[in-house]
Amino acid sequence: MAQRNLVYILSHVHKSLGFEWVTMGLMRDYRLTFILLNESTSSLEDFLVKQGVEVKRVYYRGKQDFFNAFLKTLLYLLRKRPDIVHAHLLDAQLIGLTAAFFSGVKKRIYTRHNSNYHHVYHPRGVWLDKWSNLLSTNIISISQSTDKTLLQLERVSQSKIVKIPHGFDLSAFDTIAPDRIEKIRLKWKIPNQQPVVGVVARHIEWKGIQYIIPAFRKFLNENPSACLVLANAIGPYHEQLMELAQSIPTNQLVIVPFEEDIAALYAVFDLYVHTPIDPLCEAFGQTYIEALACGVPSIFTLSGIASEFIINRENALVVEFKNTEAIFEAMLQLWPDNQLNHKIVEKGRHDVVLRFGINPMVASLKALYDK
């Protein structure tokens, strides 16, 4: 049987291990093409070209380029005549699904990467989500959070929705070479002392970092050598968080705007904290999986995918939403290194291997594409 022509459309993606893994899983079975809506070249584009995957980069900074990007995408799809278009992220959904509809693509898919964000923070954005829902023939839901948003808040037909959680090449998080860890320490000037408390989350209000910083400040009183690393530290809430972080000595606070070697960064951490502020705000939360796969003792609130598999004192410590004191007390429970620490690390690794491998995800995608 001839290979089906599959086009992925992404917006504003610079580096993504996830798309690299999916590419490797799909490229032998489909004529795979990527349309990248980006302002310039990217690590992902370099990876795809190296693998021999066709790439069409469409110049795109934001809404000022929307119409031109739409026309270029439409013309490309008319010329390419794909069997399937799969869009990821809002701009790619709006441009890609609309262009796919008008170019006559029969199977139009998007992965829902946001949960109730627009419903809570940007009500006008709900109409953009509903437009994507309308134009798609299938929507990939990645967690119970996105299930609830699609089914209950946006009244999408159950027949459109396919549940496919993110998958990971978990071998990438196994044994990290010491020289990679040391390179991260030197690059970001992370003190070679313990404990290092890590946070990997964009600086957005709903990520809950405003509750972690004061918890760490209290933890510092008990552990004077501790260091807090705030990674992926960009976003609209950055200034407020930096003002809050002024209470932490500058030599015990490290700000990492972006790091490509994310596995080595996790390997630097002695404790990890991720505390979104409600059950639905996190659509999935890849960082839950990454931290456990790297064997970092973790403190979580139950948002996104965490609600489906994290159990308190089994594979992580679970704290209440918006609770600085609970985060602080959880830090004290996990440090210094102890039996509970080792128990949750072992169980956490076991659980992510059981549930979140890349192969089941790729198999589910193929089943959807070939249906």
Chain segment 28-81, per-residue pLDDT in tens:
999 999 999 999 999 999 999 999 999 999 999 999 999 999 999 999 999 999
Give me the mean pLDDT over the 85-111 stretch. 99
The single residue listed with the structure tokens 């002392």 is 193
The candidate with the shortest Cα–Cα distance to 275, out of 224, 218, 316, is 316
Question: Dihedrals φ, ψ of 37, to 5°?
Answer: -90, 90
What CA–CA distances, in Å, run from 57 to 10, 91, 92, 115? 10, 14, 12, 28
151-206 residue pLDDT tens: 999 999 999 999 999 999 999 998 899 999 999 999 999 999 899 999 999 999 99
Q: How many CB atoms lie within 10 A of CB 332?
A: 12
Q: What percent of the chain has pLDDT over 70?
A: 100
Q: Could you tell me where the beta strands, DSSP code E, fall in the chain?
A: 4-11, 30-38, 54-59, 84-88, 107-111, 138-141, 161-163, 196-200, 227-231, 253-256, 271-274, 298-300, 317-318
Say how far apart CA 212 and CA 214 lie, in whole Å: 6
pLDDT at 1: 61
Average pLDDT, the chain: 97
> Tell me, what amino acid is at 336?
P
Residues 274 and 291: beta-carbon distance below 8 Å: yes
How is domain 4-167+357-370 classified at the CATH fold level? Answer: Rossmann fold (3.40.50)
For residue 264, pLDDT over 90 is answered with yes
Average pLDDT for 210-215? 99
pLDDT of residue 174: 87
Residues 72 and 58 sit within 8 Å (Cβ to Cβ)? yes
Q: What pLDDT band is residue 338 in, cutting at 50, 70 and 90? A: confident
Q: Which residues contact 188 (CB under 8 A, 6 or more apart)?
A: 229, 254, 256, 259
pLDDT value of position 175: 86
- pLDDT-derived band at 337, boundaries 50, 70, 90: confident
Q: Range(s) for CATH 3.40.50.2000 in the chain?
A: 4-167+357-370, 170-355
What mean pLDDT do residues 312-335 have?
Answer: 98
pLDDT tens by residue, 266-284: 999 999 999 999 999 999 9
Q: Which long-range contacts (CB under 8 A, 24 or more apart) does 242-249 make?
A: 244/210, 244/213, 244/214, 245/213, 247/213, 247/214, 247/217, 248/213, 248/216, 248/217, 248/220
pLDDT at 121 over 80: yes
CATH code for residues 170-355: 3.40.50.2000
What number is the average pLDDT over the span 209-228? 98
Q: How far apart are CA 128 and CA 117, in angstroms?
A: 12
Phi, psi of 51 (to 5 degrees): -85, -5
pTM of the predicted model as reported, rounded to 2 decimal places: 0.94
